[in-house]
Amino acid sequence: MLKLVNLTKQYGDKIAVNRLSLTLQPGVVTGFLGPNGSGKSTTMKMIISLVHPTAGEVIIDGKRYHELTEPTKNIGTLIDPSAINHNLTARQHLALISTAANMDTSRINQMLDMTGLKMVENKKVKSYSLGMKQRLGVATALMSDPDVVILDEPFNGLDVDGIKWLRGLFKQLANSGKTVIVSSHLMGEIQAVADRVVIIGQGKLLADMTMKEMNQKSLSTYVYVETNHLKKMKKLLQDNLANVQELEKGLEVRNLTAKEVGILAYKHQLTLFELKTVQPTLEELFTEITAGKVDYVSRGDEIT
């Protein structure tokens, strides 16, 4: 189990991570989301002791990082896919890190196969595309078969096939009991892969919920209905205390479930063309939660 306790990092006046407390469970893929500069990478670096916390601590299976006998067996990470000696080949790089960290070298072939790098294993890393470097970064993170896998923006630079492959890999890792933490700006990817979502803004925890809770969040959930008699349906719904908004072709209904709307329509012999519950996407929720907690906002309108 991985525990962050009041984890804090201050750079001069800037509080990059602010009293962050979290417990990350095995068998779960946690999506770690936040706007640019919100402290995701700094948190990940503190977990593996690359950055020293100003306050607070990280507890890994009851121990601090420096107390672990073979930390690479506990945690595997991908923080910066370019942090590789570019004059080495993929095979040489994996051999080097496995020797340095006393890992099982027999996993090199397995990792090259799994990440699809077998074809280019003897080519120097400097000739690799960003996606190929990401794949090598994933291979590096998993070389020691660690219990905790931390990947910072692993979808960056991956093609459709690579994204699909990573999604499957994360599920597989979690199913085998590993703790998987993945940061991303691609909400759709996190939505497709995560069991739990942690959102931070300006270094502070803004939301921590399971995907199920996220889906049930009433914030923006509504029922969409189209019928042959919109005005009559609207009146009926309002008489039943629903909050109703007229859209172009249908109605946006709050306070009633799709089932209740369906029963009401049936009782009054209205024909339904469409009836569905619309859930907020992770992207909408993210925007809602992080509003006002962003350091860098795009201002496309300033380009002339």
Which residues contact ligand ATP by CB under 6 A? 11, 14, 16, 34, 36-42, 295
If contact means CB under 5 to 8 A according to the sort of partner, which of Mg ion, ligand ATP, none does residue 140 touch?
A: none
* Nearest distance in Å: CB 185, ligand ATP: 7
CA distances in angstroms from 200 to 17, 38, 155, 293, listed in the order given? 9, 6, 19, 9
If contact means CB under 5 to 8 A according to the sort of partner, which of ligand ATP, Mg ion, none does residue 16 touch?
A: ligand ATP
If contact means CB under 5 to 8 A according to the sort of partner, which of ligand ATP, Mg ion, none does residue 11 touch?
A: ligand ATP
If contact means CB under 5 to 8 A according to the sort of partner, which of Mg ion, ligand ATP, none does residue 14 touch?
A: ligand ATP
* Nearest distance in Å: CB 209, ligand ATP: 19
Q: Cβ-count burial of 123 within 10 angstroms (0-12 exposed, 13-18 middle, 19+ buried)?
A: middle
Distance CA 16, CA 268 (A): 58
Q: Is 173 helix (H, G, I), strand (E, B) or coil?
A: helix
Distance CA 68, CA 59 (A): 10
* Nearest distance in Å: CB 296, ligand ATP: 8
Q: In terms of CB distance, is 206 or 272 closer to ligand ATP?
A: 206
Q: In terms of CB distance, is 203 or 280 closer to ligand ATP?
A: 203
* Nearest distance in Å: CB 139, ligand ATP: 22
Q: Where are the beta strands (DSSP E) in the chain?
A: 2-11, 14-24, 29-33, 55-60, 75-78, 148-152, 179-183, 196-201, 204-210, 222-227, 243-246, 251-254, 272-278
Residue in 127, 31, 129, 149 with CA at minimum distance from that of residue 79: 149
* Nearest distance in Å: CB 48, ligand ATP: 13
Q: In terms of CB distance, is 16 or 150 closer to ligand ATP?
A: 16
Residue whose CB is nearest to Mg ion in the complex, by number: 41
Q: In terms of CB distance, is 41 or 89 closer to Mg ion?
A: 41
Q: In terms of CB distance, is 144 or 184 closer to ligand ATP?
A: 184
H-run or E-run covering 179: strand 179-183
Would residue 241 be called left, alpha or beta, if left means φ above 0 and alpha means ψ between -120 and 50 degrees? left
* Nearest distance in Å: CB 143, Mg ion: 23
If contact means CB under 5 to 8 A according to the sort of partner, which of ligand ATP, Mg ion, none does residue 179 touch?
A: none
If contact means CB under 5 to 8 A according to the sort of partner, which of Mg ion, ligand ATP, none does residue 53 touch?
A: none
If contact means CB under 5 to 8 A according to the sort of partner, which of Mg ion, ligand ATP, none does residue 8 touch?
A: none
Q: Residue 83: which residues within 8 A CB-CB, separation 6 or more?
A: none
8 A C-beta contact, residue 60 and residue 205:
no
Residue 28, amino acid = V
Q: Cβ-count burial of 294 within 10 angstroms (0-12 exposed, 13-18 middle, 19+ buried)?
A: middle
Q: Cβ-count burial of 54 within 10 angstroms (0-12 exposed, 13-18 middle, 19+ buried)?
A: middle
Helices 90-100 and 107-114 cross at an angle (nearest 10°) of: 140
* Nearest distance in Å: CB 58, ligand ATP: 15
* Nearest distance in Å: CB 37, ligand ATP: 4
Q: In terms of CB distance, is 78 or 289 closer to Mg ion?
A: 78
If contact means CB under 5 to 8 A according to the sort of partner, which of ligand ATP, Mg ion, none does residue 135 touch?
A: none
Q: In terms of CB distance, is 40 or 135 closer to ligand ATP?
A: 40
* Binding site residues, Mg ion, CB under 5 A: 40-41
